[in-house]
Amino acid sequence: MDKGVDAGRTVRVGQREVFFSEVGSGPAVVLLHGGGPGANGQSNYSRNIEALAQRFRVIVPDMPGYGRSSKVIDQSDPFGDLARAIGGLLDELGVDSAHLVGNSYGGAAALRLAMDRPEKVGRMILMGPGGVGSTRALPTKGLQELLAYYPGSGPSREKITRFIREYLVFDGAAVPDELIELRFQASIDPEVIANPPLRRPSGPLALRTLWRMDFTRDSRLREVAHPTLVIWGADDKVNRPAGGRMLADAMPNCDLYLAADTGHWVQWERAGLFNTLAVAFLEA
């Protein structure tokens, strides 16, 4: 845990408990983590919290389905459900509006909150966000690996090691064994195994769910006028970097930065670059 970060607490948001920690003072910045197995707010942003907290009130939740938050997600509209949870957390904390920083799954939640409750969002930084052109091509190999973690033979160290080292980052050797072990242990929580948060839509309404999960099918995307910085790893194997161009073309105030030799976890892989860009953009 970063120096100065509180031990965290849980608040009731609707029917769920949402865990979060915070540090720093100033304008509120909410860090929304990705949806990989064993993810949580602290581990996903371990290289960024301290730098951002020097200028902002940094709020780091565990998304519903992950960490110490309730393991319940509405699978008929997952991104909308996550957005409701994050918006509700801000309401409970008395935060009228916050800047949102979202990686992958968290980026999708940020975008959806900007569509559903635009007044709650200031600026956005999105790193390889989900839900961008996701129904316009077959899933990437990385996304297939992610979705296959719980089905079939179930979770294993081998599966999570392969996903992180081969698909999550550009340089797999840079990821310490300890981090992978922490992620694996979190991923085998019995509540998570019983109700995996990230899964393929199924059932008679699956197509409707898929459509809801692709923001390029939502006419409101062009109305998201919040100043937005999209940072996408050029070697992202989970969400295609072409999604960055889609967002820049659709959103009226969207800047795009393509990070060389970087995979899906840009805020961890290129922490120095990310922190510099993030502070400059959020203070602009």
Is there a contact between 169 and 238 (Cβ–Cβ < 8 Å)? Answer: no
| Cα–Cα distance for residue pair 101/230, rounded to 1 Å | 10
**Active-site residue flag, 99:** no
Q: How far apart are CA 48 and CA 42, in angstroms?
A: 10
Gap between the Cα atoms of 188 and 273, Å rounded: 33
Closest Cα partner for 4 from 51, 61, 63?
51
CA 172, CA 162: separation in Å to the nearest integer?
A: 9
Residues present in the chain in total: 284
- Which helix or strand (DSSP H or E) is residue 43 part of? helix 41-44
Ordered strands of the 228-233 beta sheet:
9-13, 16-23, 57-61, 28-32, 98-103, 121-127, 228-233, 254-259
Per annotation, catalytic residue among 33, 99, 226, 264: 264
Residue with tokens 């371990």: 46
- Torsion (CA) 158, 236, 143, 272 in degrees, nearest 10: 70
Spatial contact of 129 and 242, defined as CB atoms under 8 Å apart: no
Question: Which candidate, 8, 187, 27, places its Cα nearest to that of 101?
Answer: 27
Local structure of residue 133 (DSSP, 8 states): S
User: What residues are annotated to the active site?
Assistant: 264
